[in-house]
């Protein structure tokens, strides 16, 4: 018997569950007032500056940073998992055609489900920790291959097979473009990917954990998380932030464009975050990466950022609004040659590791996540009318 409804009438719950603690986690935390977040016991930004993507993946899955020997062994373990089963690979052209208007992220939901079915993924409820982790590893490794194949097929190009000799970020760019990227581009994208692996109980991570609490298989959890990520208010903003720069167009239009939007109450994409009350540390890091490249786009982005903050301080005093990760992520990905339709999918290439780590952590708890809602309709009971 479900008695949940009888215990919630006097509980005041904030909209969007803001600030509500739903469980414990050892994976990391976001300290919004300090402008700091971490993966396990390490600063996420420092990890992005000092470690490889594979090392941080190892940390999230296995609880500690690897030494050189373990790092090399983990990279060797991942590499063969990038290759798709024949039945999945053969289905991708039709899937790319079917999702031509909606894009690779929509195609990924179906492709990943097919991969899980073809590989025989079973509910995490029925599996031990090692098998769960193996399924999660396989799913994560396949995501870049699926996304790049769907993108290329959608452009009328043949997919590029993954290379076992390239690290995660370099291999992703290679499969996307068909050419090896330069070291500066690879390292810039790798730092971005590391910085977006995990970020607290955001909408997609929480979605994945809710599904994991039902005991569903790993791929079911990940496809639900991808669905949440696709929303413009979550992961769908990097290209929109860059579209903002395009809409402004030139330095002489900055102030007028921003004032018009602020006074109209419109949201300026790439600014503001529901957790941070100071500068987003990911944005700070990505601004630094952008400045390493330099050029007109970077100069323009920096000027727009400064003017948005100044005009907001003038028109809405006391309301701090800083750039979030999407603003400079769009700039960096543009500089590295990624097409805009792949900005959010690239975010997914990183976040799938964080989702999976959360799924594995949640799977260790057999309690299903089952919140309640406060009923606000007509007062029951009413007599059900008899049909005449």
Enzyme catalytic residues = 273, 326
If you write DSSP's letter for every residue of 235-247 in order, what string do you get? TS-HHHHHHHHHH
Q: Quick check: bond before 90 cis, omega within 30?
A: no
- Decide: helix, strand or coil at residue 365: coil
H helices of the chain, where?
A: 44-50, 53-62, 68-78, 86-98, 104-119, 129-154, 168-177, 183-195, 203-213, 218-229, 238-248, 254-263, 281-293, 296-315, 325-335, 343-363
**Strand, helix or coil at 321?**
coil
Q: Nearest to residue 289, comparing CAs of 184, 177, 169, 196?
A: 184
Cα–Cα distance, 263 to 355 (Å, whole number): 38
What is the rounded CA–CA span in Å between residue 338 and residue 189?
A: 10
Q: How would DSSP label each residue in 135-186?
A: HHHHHHHHHHHHHHHHHHHHTT-------TTS-HHHHHHHHHHSSPPPHHHH
CB 307, CB 254: distance < 8 Å: yes
Alpha-carbon distance of 137 to 153, in angstroms, equals 25
The half-sphere exposure of 32 on its side-chain side, counting CA atoms within 13 A, is 16
- Cβ burial, residue 309 (10 Å; 0-12/13-18/19+): middle
Tell how strand 28-31 and strand 42-43 pair up.
unpaired
Contacts (Cβ under 8 Å, ≥6 apart) of 353: 56, 57, 60, 61, 140, 197, 198
């Amino acid at each position: 018997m479900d008695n949940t409804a009888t215990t919630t009438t006097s509980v005041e719950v904030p909209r969007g569950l803001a600030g509500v603690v739903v469980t414990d986690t050892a994976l990391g935390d976001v300290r919004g007032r300090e402008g700091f977040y971490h993966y396990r016991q390490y600063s996420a930004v420092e990890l992005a500056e000092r470690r490889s993507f594979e090392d941080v993946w190892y940390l999230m899955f296995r609880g500690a940073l690897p030494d050189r020997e373990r790092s090399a062994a983990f990279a060797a373990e991942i590499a063969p998992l990038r290759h798709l089963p024949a039945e999945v690979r053969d289905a991708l052209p039709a899937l790319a055609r079917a999702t031509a208007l909606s894009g690779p992220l929509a195609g990924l939901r179906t492709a990943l489900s097919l991969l899980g079915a073809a590989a025989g993924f079973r509910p995490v409820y029925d599996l031990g920790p090692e098998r769960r982790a193996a399924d999660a590893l396989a799913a994560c490794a396949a995501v870049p291959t699926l996304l790049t194949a769907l993108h290329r097929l959608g452009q009328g190009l043949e997919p590029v097979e993954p290379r076992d000799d390239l690290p995660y970020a370099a291999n992703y760019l290679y499969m996307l473009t068909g050419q090896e990227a330069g070291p500066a581009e690879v390292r810039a994208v790798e730092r971005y990917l590391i910085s977006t692996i995990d970020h607290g109980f955001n909408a997609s991570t929480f979605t994945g954990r809710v599904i994991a609490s039902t005991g569903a298989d790993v791929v079911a959890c990940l496809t639900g998380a991808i669905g949440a990520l696709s929303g413009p208010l979550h992961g769908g903003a990097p290209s929109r932030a860059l579209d903002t720069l395009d809409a402004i167009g030139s330095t002489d239009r900055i102030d007028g464009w921003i004032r018009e939007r602020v006074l109209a109450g419109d949201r300026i994409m790439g600014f503001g975050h529901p957790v941070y009350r100071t500068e987003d540390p990911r944005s700070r890091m990505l601004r630094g990466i952008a400045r390493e490249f330099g050029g007109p786009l970077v100069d323009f982005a920096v000027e727009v950022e400064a003017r948005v903050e100044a005009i907001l301080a003038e028109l809405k005093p006391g309301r701090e609004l800083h750039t979030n990760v999407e603003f400079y992520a769009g700039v960096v990905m543009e500089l590295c040659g990624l097409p805009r339709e792949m900005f959010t999918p690239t975010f997914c290439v990183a976040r799938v590791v964080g989702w999976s780590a959360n799924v594995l952590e949640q799977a260790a708890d057999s309690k299903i996540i089952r919140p309640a809602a406060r009923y606000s309709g007509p007062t029951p009971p009413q007599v059900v009318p008899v049909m005449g």
